[in-house]
Structure 1
């Protein structure tokens, strides 16, 4: 079993993802209620933005952690995660 991989940014990332979850639930409710497409698209943009911001925060924190000397890392792992930026 591997040890937990926790960074300082994880609480903020979780908060961003919970915000995205709330936006996504709103989108579903809006579609079910027959709301106008421009309003739905606006909420979908909010979901996409929240997820993108969470992903970037997670990756940037991981890279910073690896490069600061606080963790053992290999070049392949670093290259692998940065492709998601």
Structure 2
């Protein structure tokens, strides 16, 4: 396994988000074990899913903002799409 020690300023925030989502997921599991309604469980699962998705989006955007920009330093365009346009589109991930 290749260890790559990347650390960006956003990683602390991402870890906090994921730990909150982890706790929330545990509470959803408890809801299922307690026999709570499927609608309530689905609603809470949706919230967990959104939290994980936002953590992923933040990680990807941070990677692009720092790592890719550094790697492509000085290159104005990647093909026919500018780096700024590439960054913009990833916000919709």
TM, length-normalised to structure 2 = 0.70
Structure 2 residue runs of 5 or longer lacking an equivalent are 73-77, 79-89
Q: Look up the match of 2:52.
A: 51
Partner of 1:78: none
Of structures 1 and 2, the one with the larger relative CO (CA 8 A, separation 6+) is 1
Structure 1 segments (4+ residues) deviating >3 Å: none
- Which structure shows the bigger proportion of residues in strand conformation? 2
When the two chains are superposed, the root-mean-square deviation of aligned CA atoms in Å is 2.1
Q: Which runs of 5+ in 1 are unaligned?
A: 76-81
Between structure 1 and structure 2, the one with the greater Rg is 2
For normalisation by structure 1, the TM-score amounts to 0.76
For this pair of structures, how many residues does the alignment match?
Answer: 75
